[in-house]
Structure 1
Amino acid sequence: MKKIYLSLFLVLTWLKGFSAGEIAFVSFQSDDPDSFSWVALVPIPAGTTILFTDNGWNGTAFRTSEGVLTWTAPAGGVPGGTVVTITGGATASTGTVTSSGTYALSTAGDQLFAFKGTLASPTFIAGINFGGTGWDDTAASTNSTALPATLTNGSNAVAVGNQDNGRFNCSDGSVMGNISTIGSTINTTTNWTTNAEILSPAVSACTYTSSSLPVRLISFKSESQSAAIELTWQTGEEINNSHFEIERSSNAQNFEAIGRVIGNGSSTTKQIYSYVDVSPKTGLNYYRLKQVDLDGQFEYSRIVSARLTGLGLFKAYPNPVVGMLTIELPAESAIESAYLIDLTGRRVREFSDYRPSLEGVENGLYTLQVKTKDGQTFQQRVLKIN
């Protein structure tokens, strides 16, 4: 077992699942014996499983004609910085591995993805493509793959070109920065050495030093409103947090900044933030947060998405409202449930009619959330006054 000593001053909680970029591929070998290696950039608890596959991604689903490996963390877990090598789909240098289907890395080019969930519903963690000059538009064969929308080339995925064998080339013997910086360094194509012959060593010896992250993000959610999309997020701890930049994309790959929310500097208590995109694009919108520290360092959040439904056909009025509120829905929709939610997330009023009374509700800003019987959800900010 090879070790990379990783100084992590922030202990991340894995019980809620993985985020993209929390592991990274650092080598592959398609010459016999097939093998690949990955590094844990955060501690992994005992019993945690990660799935790996050489199936290609066609843009919406896996091309399920190849194999799946299931790796399980050993008793005691895996420290951040451990490199795990899986050989032949049967043995792992740390933990255990089982296989299903037909797993074999092709010398004509292939790919590897790390994910949670199932083949039918994956949550991607990392990816590497060594089957061509770059990521493809689809998975037309076993040697091609598209880049999943929730992965970003150069951040948590890399395309290294069509070669039999390759490794991340840690030329200076160390990489420093936060997890995002380390991931970007590993997933930069020019930082890889590839060859038609087996490389020795297969994995570069490297020391990774990760600075503590300035913000611990508890949650990040997106909700469609009638003609806008609201983003909400919570932090559990902040250290020198300057601000959040809100970035939007139509393809989950090319992002643009659309707004900024000032942070709370340093805090040890829960902080709640929100931002409303009043001009979302038609169709599915992807969002991520760029958290910027006071010294300019930054970290990206996971990507969330939301689609506008019933654009312009839902409204609640008058707004501000004194007593009676009127709700209008698309003609084919009917209310299943509706809630008035305060800024702490507490439901202060529940109703199912189209003209609810807000008598007795304290003055303030609320979110009206309406769920319809055909599965749609609408939201709108409502100001209650006397």
Structure 2
Amino acid sequence: MKTLLTSLILCLLLLQTARAQSCFGLKISGFRADNPDEIYLQATADIPANRTFYFTDNDWTASTENFVGIETSDIYTWTTPATGIGAGSVILISSLANFATSGTASGLPGLSNDGEQLYILSAIPSAVEGESPESTICFAINFLGTGNMPTDASKFVNLGDIDNAVYDGSGDFSDVANWARANSVANLTFPTPTFIPPTTLPVTLTSFKVGIKNTQNNLVWTTSSEVNNAHFDIERSSDATRFERIGTLVGKGNTKLNHTYQFTDESPKSGINYYRLKQVDFDGGFAYSRIVLAHNDASAQVTIRHFPENKALQIAGVRNIAPYKLFSLNGRLVKSGNMDPGSPVITYKNITSGVYILQMQNSDLSFTRKILID
């Protein structure tokens, strides 16, 4: 019983600002494949607020680390509540009205009683062939499904030919001996959903801003509390999709005081620069901040000085080698070369006086200007 949910589309559109994280020990602790389909989750560690996890029952292939034929309609989500959720909490998610006892859910994959598997992941499968590294799989259950299980035996349990099962609360989740199984839910006792408040709070980011000074971008952010905060990675992108790390600042670990951090991007790209923070815990968990941006026009920083006595143009503000071309007003190329920031001079001893067009372009800038040569 596959239910297509339009609310999932909104979740995908918000992917870039969504938090990514480690699994925080989240496990599947029970399921029923009878109508309505239901699963039980158990938090074995505190999970911060607004963390999103993803579910799918598509087949995962270990050799290529991808989900076969996955589409957006095959992926469902559960997000922790604004308070976070504490270790020991048990969450029931039902396909009936997409209900969750804690947090919010977009629904469930339809659980077949003819053989199935279910994966819970800490990151959404890539749009490219459903790529999903094993590291993103938090836990999986297999009841005669055809998908591969993770190579890490602690990340899954094989339950065999069964329609309903529940973890009995003792021992490893991955040991089938610790699960009660039956084809009728009447023969099983499922746990009572329980919310336990978390004992820790995530890093609280109260502000994050970027400003431009000369040709550099200055990033400033403030926290009001930090728990288990190892460091911040500063990441930059030119398209708000593919980010690269450009720096790291050490966090304060555990503190309830306000702290301000500053980082300078000394060589931003020309155009729009997008920035985000990746806050990393000591245990490897991480979360992304919102994205801020700065519009850097490197061309505006370029100045041209004319030295007629030396038959030369001095070009200031070019940071990297830039090819240039000098055209007459009728479009004839009269000179070309590479502008070296270490020797930013164009000579014109054999060029007649008049108005010319100077074009210059590299990865940082692109401009066209009229200049007078006499």
Give the structure-1-normalised TM-score.
0.41
The structure whose Rg is larger is 2
Give the structure-2-normalised TM-score.
0.42
- Bigger share in helix: 2
